[in-house]
Chain A
Amino acid sequence: MELSLLTALTIFVLAIFVGVEIITKVPPTLHTPLMSGSNAISGITVVGALLAMGAGLTFWTTLLGFLALIFATINVVGGFMVTNRMLGMFRRKE
């Protein structure tokens, strides 16, 4: 593919900096939704599962892709839904 090691590393390091900058601004009140929400985002590995399954090279890789797809989708759907449920509880009176 077209992503060289150096490019990948650059993206990785810069994204960590972005992450640190944003996350330090999240107030402790929202740390639990932050964890479940960021957790849902880390289910992005679902893309990898889709690609593995979609390539369908061998039975084995398709099976692995299928397993990964299920795990990752639980992660994504469960994470976003529970975060939404929690955030809905944070209300302000008046």
Chain B
Amino acid sequence: MNPWINLAYLVAAILFILGLKGLTHPRTAVRGNLMGASGMLLAIVVTLFSQGILNLWLILLGLLIGGGIGALMAIRVQMTQMPQMVALLNGFGGIASAIVAGAALSEAVFLLNLEQGSLVGPGTQVFQFTVATFASGLIGAVTFWGSLVAYGKLEGITGEQIQQRLGFLTRGRQSGSMPDQEQKTEEKTEEQAGVEPEQAGVEPEPQTQEQTAPEPQTQEQTGSQATGTNGAPAMPEQPKEQPTAVEPAQEQKLMGQWQRINRTLTTKPIAKAVLLGICLLLGIFLVFVPTAVPIYWLIIIVASFLGWYLVMPIGGADMPVVIALLNSYSGLAAAATGFVIENSILIITGSLVGASGLILTAIMCRAMNRSLTNVLFGVWVPESATGGDDIYEGKTKSTSPEEIAMMLDGVRRVVIVPGYGMAVAQAQHAVRDLTNLLESRGTEVEFAIHPVAGRMPGHMNVLLAEADISYDKLKEMDEINPTFEQTDVAIVIGANDVTNPVARTDPNSPIAGMPILDVSNAKSVIVVKRSLSPGFAGIANPLFAADNTLMYFTDAKRGMLDLVNAVKEV
């Protein structure tokens, strides 16, 4: 390869590193991002001008399609949907890396057949190539499917809904059974319904597939298994050529089995270990027989199942960790592809991103006081919210916007603790108005942001920044916790578990040891919440019953608007 091209790649790598460095401060962040983008542009342009690039028009078409879709996504996405967007992008990056590695393998085998192959170099070279190809395929496919599942979970699409939707496709047949299976049956019935009238020339009723579907099956059984549960004697004279049709009872049994397998794969970590084991075995095979290209795609298929079932059982509240981890994977897949095509820029960039994702994963795990294995494989069963009544009974005090306005009049320092509930209620702008109002009266207002306040690392900061709240008011947990003692009023909006003192006091609680915001140290605490219902952890929060806490039972947005009006009138 042309040394100038490698030099340009080096410049691109430097731009990426400086770009990431720019992200260490909001002031330099925009410029940093632009540096990263120009590094990417440089890498792409230089590659296009490297010798022997064919298919230029096709490449431009691909760039146009991908760029168009990407731009559309970036423009249309709402800030609350950012986790979904990042999940999707992670997945796309991952699968792209896996496909590139697969293409490189096909290329190498093709060249080998022409006896000018790169697969016949010195031993380590081939070893590096095959191991990296395997790694890229495995990680890439896991990232893609894992990300798609994470996307679905964040969008609130549950497994049941998917099944219902697919059930709708099959026009209500056997609703609630496994989607894959159903889809296959659907294809079959369509095929049969389409073929049947032509061949038979009688009973052209393709529109009622529920009825017509069993017919070819019975016909087949006259030849093979004479069971005929439905006994439809439609056309016994013409045995059809549909050996794939499955008899309904058998179909049911298959589905029962599939559901069992599905459940095992979802709940049992060992099943995932088996899937990974299969991948590794296939990978070892590939290392020894690098020309077995189909094995690579088999690895991709098994790894796809692995990715799907890895993320499937993980709850929505743990998605921040999952996204951060998949972020890391997408980087590692790119790095592995760099080893495959022996391209330094891919290795450098991939490992930068891999490191970034791993650090964020660690931060999120620490914020929830859980290990990564616990998040990935531990089944998080929320306790039923018993005991809440005797904690709350007669001790909670409710308040009104007017009373809060009086309290806020002339105080020195107010800390607002936002939770995801605030974002869901779209109360950010009302919160900003309250902030501005209080500041105009000389009150110091700051925001206490718990690391898991949003749906991904740093999500809450973006949501507040979107509402035009100055970033220097957004304080992280360790920074703001010591200041609660000098705080006159702490306002908790839509947050619950991250303020629960039980995390400190009760070692048996599900959130034991989780770092929390010390709101109870403030002179007064106001909790804006619709009811006393528990948060994700499913446990009661003694903060609500504390002496210095007032409950303001309302919808977050409505409540903030009322409060702003009340403060104006004071």
Please give the residue numbers on chain A whose beta carbons come within 8 Å of chain B beta carbons, in ascending order: 1-5, 8, 11-13, 15-16, 18-20, 22-58, 60-62, 64-94
Contact = CB atoms under 8 A, between A and B. Distances in A.
Nearest to B462: A32
Contacts of A54: 47-48, 50, 52-56, 59
B212 interface: no
Contact of B339 (A8, A85, A93): A8
Given A4-B124, A8-B338, A26-B24, 15 more contacts: A5-B127, A8-B347, A11-B348, A29-B476, A31-B461, A32-B454, A35-B327, A36-B89, A43-B334, A48-B101, A50-B47, A51-B343, A77-B71, A81-B74, A86-B465
Contacts of B21: 22, 25
B19 A41 contact: yes
B62 A73 contact: yes
Interface in B11-39: 16-17, 19-21, 23-27, 29-30, 32-34, 36-37, 39
A9 to B, nearest CB: 9
A42 B349 contact: yes
B69 interface: yes
Contact of B352 (A18, A47, A90): A18
Nearest to A83: B33
Nearest to B68: A77
A2 B1 contact: yes
Which of the listed residues A19, A42, A62 has the most CB atoms from chain B within 10 Å of its own CB? A42
B104 to A, nearest CB: 7
Contact of A74 (B55, B73, B351): B73
Contact of A34 (B67, B341, B458, B474): B458
B342 A3 contact: yes
Given A2-B1, A60-B106, A49 B77 contact: no
A12 B344 CA distance: 9
A26 B23 contact: yes
Interface in B323-347: 323-324, 327, 330-331, 333-335, 337-347
Interface in B153-193: none
A61 B395 CA distance: 70
A61 B110 contact: yes
Given A23-B355, A42-B330, A90 B456 contact: no
A34 B476 CA distance: 16
A38 B570 CA distance: 48
B337 A48 contact: yes
Interface stretch (B92-100, B198-206, B503-511): B92-100
Interface stretch (B79-87, B235-243, B303-311, B515-523): B79-87
B330 A71 contact: no
Contact of A29 (B26, B65, B86): B26
Contacts of B74: 77-79, 81-82, 85
B171 to A, nearest CB: 32
5 contacts: A1-B341, A13-B351, A30-B26, A65-B100, A75-B89
Which of the listed residues A5, A16, A43, A44 has the most CB atoms from chain B within 10 Å of its own CB? A44
Contacts of A26: 20, 23-24
B48 A69 contact: no
Secondary structure dominating the interface of B: helix
B353 A42 contact: yes
A94 to B, nearest CB: 8
B471 A92 contact: yes
B102 interface: yes
B458 to A, nearest CB: 3
A88 B63 CA distance: 25
Nearest to A42: B353
Contacts of B344: 3, 8, 11
Nearest to B473: A93
B458 A73 contact: no
A36 to B, nearest CB: 5
A3 B92 contact: no
Contact of B26 (A23, A39, A58, A92): A92
B50 to A, nearest CB: 8
A66 B29 contact: no
Contacts of A71: 66, 92-93, 95-96, 99
Contacts of A27: 24-26, 476
A20 B77 CA distance: 29
A41 B100 contact: no
Report the 9 A-B pairs with minimum CB-CB distance, sorted nearest first: A73-B66, A31-B458, A19-B355, A78-B70, A77-B70, A54-B53, A81-B74, A31-B457, A48-B100
Contact of A84 (B33, B39, B85): B33
A2 B43 CA distance: 19
Nearest to A60: B106
B359 interface: yes
B44 interface: yes
B345 A15 contact: no
A74 B461 CA distance: 25
B54 to A, nearest CB: 4
Given A47-B47, A52-B104, A84-B33, A29 B461 contact: yes
